[in-house]
């Protein structure tokens, strides 16, 4: 009897422990529903891998998932990833890509809508800046990706250069109008000429007129710097019949202006990628620069910036057409994240995509000065934390938000990267004075025609037709008369 009582009480104790244990375990299980799972992501630079590391702890705490990230260097990224995808498989679950390459990648991605319904995912679509929703997320009419890096160009200036009384006086005497951050390309060129070669900050240093990136590497820096002028002068990539418009009057005017103003830029500008002019801006060596918005975070980073609180932020200059200012800043190329169609872990990867896109998690990524990920949610622009993160951060975020309605996307058609590289090479040839601007643009025209023929004119025309309609809806059309009219 005694033995029975002992056994019974032990059994009761065990059952009790199991129940308590179960209660204790189950909330954690619910909290980390995918405990022990690891997904594979692929990105194109170490700093993108770093940006994912900013959310990995929270991701593990909430979902129990770890991300193993493969970095494929930028220049090899598109060929290598497409090679894998085109073989009908992919070692990755989560894929970072440039949205301008969507026509090449889109068919390898899993549409999000069925999963949104199935898993009750929340991507807060109303909180995504309109331009990304319209241009970056879809393939064949379906949403297949979420933004990760909202790349657009804005203008940065050093307020010291524009506020010194002596500078204002000298400028007005020479050019006949008041010195203020430029609104048109003509003003930009006047000011870069004015500021070049002397200490506009009051020092004895020989400073430069403006900064720029003119190297034709990656998808083509010099091309990205040219196109803001080209579109402001009424340019467009192709006409409706897929004939390139990159040798038109708008294109020529834009390039000739750039060639003419080359002496006002720092020596070596033809070899500059994105970081060199940013560094010159934050060290107070150039008074003007238009570049990617991540520049603002370097401006506000006390570890390296000498112009904290002295920087201005605004729209990239444009052209005055019939008394109205037209701004055409570049939206390029950006980064987005998608789930591979070939992934064997689609459900958990969808949950990860939702998690990294959440307003609070994505804010961590776009706020960090060491990432070059730029804001893309409305809540990013209006986040009090972000707006107070450095002196002038509020002006910086306002400038980005004001830029969105004016941006021009990349030519989002198959082979976009190839078209851009060819044109960029020719632009740099002209900037280096190895070719006349007209010859360079004619050569680029021929190269674009060859690419179109090689990829199939009808196929390219159909893809471009869709983009042409989207751009028209944004108010971007070819205006052959603007190049002559633009002031």
Judged by the rule CB under 8 A, the positions of this chain that interact with another protein are 40, 44-47, 49-50, 53, 68-76, 79-80, 83, 87, 89, 91, 218, 273-275, 279, 283, 294, 298, 301, 303-304, 369-370, 372
The answer for residues whose C-beta is within 8 angstroms of residue 184's C-beta and 6 or more apart is: 317, 318, 319, 320, 325, 487
Query: Residue 45 or residue 321: which is nearer to another protein going by CB?
Result: 45
Name the minimum Å distance from CB 191 to another protein: 24
Other CB atoms within a 10 A radius of the CB of residue 87 amount to: 9
Beta bridge partners of 31: none
CB of 52 to another protein, least distance (A): 11
Smaller CB distance to another protein: residue 327 or 341? 341
Residues 6+ apart with CB under 8 A from 486: 185, 232, 233, 234, 253, 319, 320, 321, 326
For another protein, the closer of residues 308 and 436 by Cβ is: 308
Q: How far is the CB of 35 from another protein (least distance, A)?
A: 21
Nearest Cα to 160, choosing from 103, 98, 203? 203
How far apart are CB 380 and another protein at their closest, in Å? 19
- Distance in Å, CB of 307 to another protein, minimum: 13
Q: Closer CB to another protein, residue 29 or residue 302?
A: 302
Report residue 71 as tokens. Answer: 């970095």
Closer of 190 and 201 to another protein (Cβ): 201
- Give phi and psi for 93, each to the nearest 5: -95, -45
Place of tokens 């643009």: 441
Q: Over 264-292, what HEC string results?
A: HCCCCHHHCCCHHHHHHHHCCCCCEEEEE
**Minimum distance of another protein from residue 252's CB (angstroms):** 30
Specify the residue, 160 or 379, whose C-beta has the smaller distance to another protein.
160
The angle subtended at Cα 52 by Cα 51 and Cα 55, nearest 5°, is: 105
Would you say 276 or 466 has its CB closer to another protein? 276
Rounded CA-CA distance 436/451 in Å is: 23
Rounded to the nearest whole angstrom, what is the least distance from the CB of residue 294 to another protein in the complex? 8
């Amino acid at each position: 009897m005694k033995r029975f009582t002992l056994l019974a009480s032990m059994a009761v104790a065990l059952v009790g422990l199991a129940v308590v244990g179960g209660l204790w375990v189950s909330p954690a299980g619910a909290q980390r529903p995918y405990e022990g799972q690891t997904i594979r992501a692929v990105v194109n630079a170490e700093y993108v891998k770093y940006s994912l590391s900013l959310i990995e702890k929270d991701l593990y705490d909430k979902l129990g998932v770890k991300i193993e990230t493969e970095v494929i260097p930028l220049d090899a990224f598109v060929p290598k990833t497409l090679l894998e995808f085109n073989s009908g498989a992919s070692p990755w679950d989560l894929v970072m890509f440039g949205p301008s390459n969507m026509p090449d990648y889109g068919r390898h991605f899993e549409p999000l809508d069925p999963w949104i319904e199935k898993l009750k995912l929340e991507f807060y679509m109303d909180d995504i800046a309109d331009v990304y929703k319209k241009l970056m997320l879809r393939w064949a009419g379906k949403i297949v990706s979420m933004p990760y890096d909202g790349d657009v160009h804005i203008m940065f200036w050093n307020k010291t250069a524009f506020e010194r009384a002596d500078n204002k006086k000298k400028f007005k005497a020479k050019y006949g109008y008041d010195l203020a951050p430029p609104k048109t390309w003509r003003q930009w060129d006047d000011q870069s000429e004015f500021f070049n070669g002397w200490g506009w900050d009051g020092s004895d240093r020989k400073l430069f007129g403006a900064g720029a990136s003119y190297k034709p590497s990656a998808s083509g820096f010099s091309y990205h710097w040219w196109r803001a002028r080209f579109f402001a002068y009424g340019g467009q990539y192709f006409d409706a019949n897929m004939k390139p418009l990159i040798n038109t009057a708008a294109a020529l005017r834009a390039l000739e202006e750039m060639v003419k103003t080359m002496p006002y830029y720092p020596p070596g500008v033809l070899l500059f990628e994105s970081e060199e002019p940013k560094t010159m801006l934050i060290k107070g060596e150039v008074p003007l620069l238009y570049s990617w918005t991540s520049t603002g975070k370097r401006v506000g980073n006390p570890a390296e910036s000498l112009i904290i609180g002295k920087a201005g932020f605004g729209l990239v200059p444009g052209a005055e057409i019939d008394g109205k200012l037209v701004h055409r800043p570049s939206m390029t190329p950006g980064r987005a994240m998608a789930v591979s169609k070939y992934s064997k872990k689609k459900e958990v990867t969808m949950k990860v995509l939702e998690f990294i896109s959440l307003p609070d998690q994505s804010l961590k990524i776009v706020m960090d000065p060491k990432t070059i990920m730029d804001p893309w949610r409305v809540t990013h622009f209006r986040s009090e934390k972000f707006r107070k993160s450095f002196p002038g951060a509020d002006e910086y975020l306002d400038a980005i938000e004001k830029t969105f309605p004016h941006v021009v996307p990349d030519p989002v058609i198959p082979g976009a990267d190839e078209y851009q590289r060819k044109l960029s090479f020719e632009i740099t040839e002209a900037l280096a004075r190895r070719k006349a601007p007209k010859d360079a643009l004619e050569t680029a025209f021929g190269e674009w025609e060859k690419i179109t023929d090689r990829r199939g004119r009808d196929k390219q025309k159909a893809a471009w037709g869709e983009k042409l309609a989207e751009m028209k809806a944004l108010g971007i059309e070819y205006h052959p008369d603007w190049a002559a009219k633009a002031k």
